[in-house]
Amino acid sequence: MTDTNIGILERLGFTTYEARAWLALATHAPATGYEVAKSSGIPRANIYPVLKRLVERGAARRIEAHDNTRYTATPVDELLADLRHDQQRLFAQAQERLPRTPAPADEIPVYALQDFASVHAAVRRTIDAARHTLFIAVQPEEARLLAPELRGADERGVRITTLCMEACTSECGGCRGDIHRCALAPSGSRWLIVAADDQAAVAAELKGAAAVPDSVRAIETRQPLVVKLATAYVRQSVALSILGGALGDHFKGLVSLQARQLLDDLHLPEGLSRTIDEDRAARPEPSAR
Residue 151 falls inside a structural domain: yes
**pLDDT per residue over 69-108, tens digit each?**
899 999 999 999 999 998 999 999 998 888 877 656 667 8
Is 288 part of any domain? no
Same domain, yes or no: 10 and 53: yes
- Domain with 153, as residue range(s), is 116-244
- Write down the pLDDT at residue 272: 45
- Same domain? For 182 and 236 the reply is yes
Asked if the structure places residue 77 within a domain, the reply is yes
Give every strand in the sheet of 212-221, ordered side by side.
Answer: 110-113, 212-221, 200-209, 190-196, 133-138, 159-164, 178-181
The whole model's pTM is what?
0.60
Number of domains forming the structure of the chain:
3
Is residue 283 scored above 70 in pLDDT? no
Q: Please, which residues have CB within 8 angstroms of residue 1's CB and are 6 or more apart in sequence? A: 20, 23, 24, 27, 40
Phi, psi (rounded to 5 degrees) for 275 = -60, -40
Angstrom distance (rounded) from CA 122 to CA 191: 15
Residues 233 and 131 reside in one and the same domain: yes
User: Mind listing the pLDDT tens digit for each residue in 8-45?
Assistant: 999 999 999 999 999 999 998 789 999 999 999 999 99
Are 86 and 145 within one domain? no
Cα 164 from Cα 232, distance rounded (Å): 16
Tell whether 190 is covered by a domain. yes
Is residue 204 included in any domain, yes or no?
yes
Statement to judge: residues 120 and 222 lie in one domain: yes
Do residues 217 and 275 share a domain?
Answer: no
103 in any annotated domain: no
Residues 236 and 257 in one domain: no
Tens of pLDDT, residues 146-162: 999 999 999 999 999 99
Asked if residue 81 and residue 14 are part of one domain, the reply reads yes
User: Is residue 58 assigned to a domain?
Assistant: yes
40 and 120 inside one domain: no
CATH code of 195's domain = 3.30.870.10
Spatial CA neighbour of 36 closest among 12, 59, 17: 17
Query: 190 - beta bridge partners?
Result: 206
Same domain, 74 and 138: no
Q: CA of 249: how far to CAs of 252, 270, 272, 273, in Å?
A: 7, 10, 6, 10
- State pLDDT tens for residues 194-217: 999 999 999 999 988 776 778 899
Look at residue 102 in the predicted model and tell me its pLDDT: 67
Answer for the pair 136, 163: CB distance below 8 angstroms, yes or no. yes
Q: Are residues 84 and 66 in the same domain?
A: yes
| Residues 234 and 268 grouped into a single domain | no
Q: Is residue 107 part of a domain?
A: no
